[in-house]
Amino acid sequence: MKVTGDQALVKKINRSLVLHTIRKHSSTLSRARVSEMTGLNKATVSNLVAELCEQQLVTEVGPGKSSGGRKPLLLHFNAMAGTVIGIELRVKQLTAVLCDLGGNVLEERDHTLARHDLSYVLEAMKKVISNLMETAPDTPYGTVGIGVGVPGMVDENGIVLFAPNLGWEMVHLRQLLEEAFSVPVTIDNEANAGAQGELNFGAAKDVRHLLYISAGSGIGSGIIIGGELYKGARGYAGETGHMCIEADGRPCTCGSRGCWELYASEKTYDTAGTALPAHNTPELVRLASEGNEAARKQFAQMGKYLGIGVTNLINSFNPELIVIGGALSEARDWLAGPMQAVVAERTLPYHKQQLEITFSRLGSRGTMIGAGFAAVMHFLGHARVTL
């Protein structure tokens, strides 16, 4: 969004800078350190901190260690100033958490979805949200936002443009939820939310260039550049599940053929037939750990194709770190080997030297937590400048 510059904007930018600096290093920084880190004048920091204290977003937590002078007063990000709700919408399941502003999970809910038409899903969401809101502890700001991660493309207005696995098209989800709860709502692609989660609270803390692959009933990916979710690509970029990896492969519901997610997601179970002893990931993981050869073979095959797609993305984005998340991350023990082998074989040495591949640390909660975090960021504000 283009904005004109005035003092209010300057203040927004600096407030944001100070607040997020304190948030990221809660209880370890003094005003003086914040001034050094941000480059802002000490007086400016003092003023902004005073304001943030009044707003109860920051508190003074007590003196720190002196290094030969007056003891610093350490500043604490008051995560309990408010709560947010983070929701992950999956094809057959709705999961939700109540978090504080620091991403700590306070409550968790789980709801099986029998159908996925809009009215049914919306009712289920409303029920879960109401329930979580009621259980929310008493905080200065109360529940300040709702974040939702959706398996599909989302535009900047919170409209679900297209979610093939749900059969949704042009759903004004943000508007619907905001009308119901009178609280700001952020809608994100499920993979983008997961990437945010891992970046801020999980396996990818402080990574600059991250590629997050969400492999579950489909495949999506969230791209972090320079430590931030690439916003312009909201909803569009990262829809990599329909990357074609076999020119004349199987037809896909997307209209194309040979899409990645036909070979490396849970969709493979549909075409695997009776040779496969189970058709869902948790069961297959159990079988594989018991030594079942068919299950292991299935995962090995999926790992190979996962690696092929990951290689494409490495060659395109050259990230520092790749995190594999989503339901399939539970099969890491059987996927990792074959995947890494393919990646090692197919990428240039140039890429390999600085690349690491890991699995999600937040596990199945990553998307919810990331979605909630988007709501936190919306509440706290996040102004910044590009020159």
Of 11-19, 92-100, 130-138, 297-305, which segment contacts DNA by CB under 7 A? Answer: 11-19
According to CB under 7 A, which one of 2, 110, 255, 350 is a site residue for DNA?
2
CB of 215 to a copy of itself, least distance (A): 16
Q: At residue 278, what is the residue type? A: A
- The distance from CA 294 to its chain's CA centroid, rounded to whole angstroms, is 32
Give the C-alpha separation, 300 to 336, whole Å: 9
User: What minimum distance in Å lies between the beta carbon of 379 and DNA?
Assistant: 20
Number of residues that bind DNA (CB under 7 A): 36
Shortest Å, Cβ 9 to a copy of itself? 7
Report, in Å, the least distance between residue 74 CB and DNA.
Answer: 7
Instruction: Identify which of residues 76 and 257 has a Cβ nearer to DNA in the complex.
Output: 76
Q: For residue 379, how far is the Cα from the chain centroid?
A: 17
Q: Which residues 16-35 are close enough to bind DNA by CB under 7 A?
A: 30-33
Strand pairing report for 210-215 and 321-325: parallel
- State how beta strands 83-89 and 93-100 pair: antiparallel
Residue closer to a copy of itself (CB basis): 38 or 56: 38
Q: From DNA, a copy of itself, none, which one binds at residue 138 (CB under 5 to 8 Å depending on kind)?
A: none
* Residues from 46 through 75 that contact DNA (CB under 7 A): 46-50, 63, 66-73
* Cβ at position 76, least distance to DNA in Å: 12
Query: What's the closest the beta carbon of residue 38 comes to DNA, in angstroms?
Result: 9
Q: Which is nearer to DNA, 50 or 348 (CB)?
A: 50
> How far is it, in rounded angstroms, from Cα 251 to Cα 272?
15
Q: What stretch of H or E contains 258?
A: none
Select from DNA, a copy of itself, none the partner in contact with residue 238, using the beta carbon and a kind-dependent cut-off of 5 to 8 Å.
Answer: a copy of itself
Angle at 355 between CA 353 and CA 356, to 5 degrees: 125
Nearer to DNA, 39 or 232 (CB): 39
Binding residues for DNA restricted to 285-314, rule: CB under 7 A: none
In what order do the strands lie in the sheet containing 160-163?
A: 153-154, 160-163, 168-171
32 is in the binding site of which of a copy of itself, DNA, none (Cβ under 5 to 8 A by kind)? DNA
The nearest distance, CB 387 to DNA, in angstroms, is 15
Report the C-alpha gap between 237 and 376 in whole angstroms.
23
DSSP state of 72: P
Which residue's CB is nearer to DNA, number 47 or number 56?
47
Q: Using DSSP, state whether 226 is helix, strand or coil.
A: coil
The site partner of 358 among DNA, a copy of itself, none (C-beta below 5 to 8 Å per kind) is none
For residues 266 and 271, what is the distance between their CA atoms, to the nearest angstrom?
Answer: 10
Residue 384 is a binding residue for DNA (CB under 7 A): no
How many Å apart are CA 153 and CA 354, to the nearest integer? 31
Residues 6+ apart with CB under 8 A from 78: 56, 57, 58, 59, 101
Q: Which amino acid is at 52?
A: L
Tell me which DSSP letter residue 7 carries. Answer: H
Interface residues toward DNA, by CB under 7 A: 1-8, 10-11, 14-15, 30-33, 39-44, 46-50, 63, 66-73
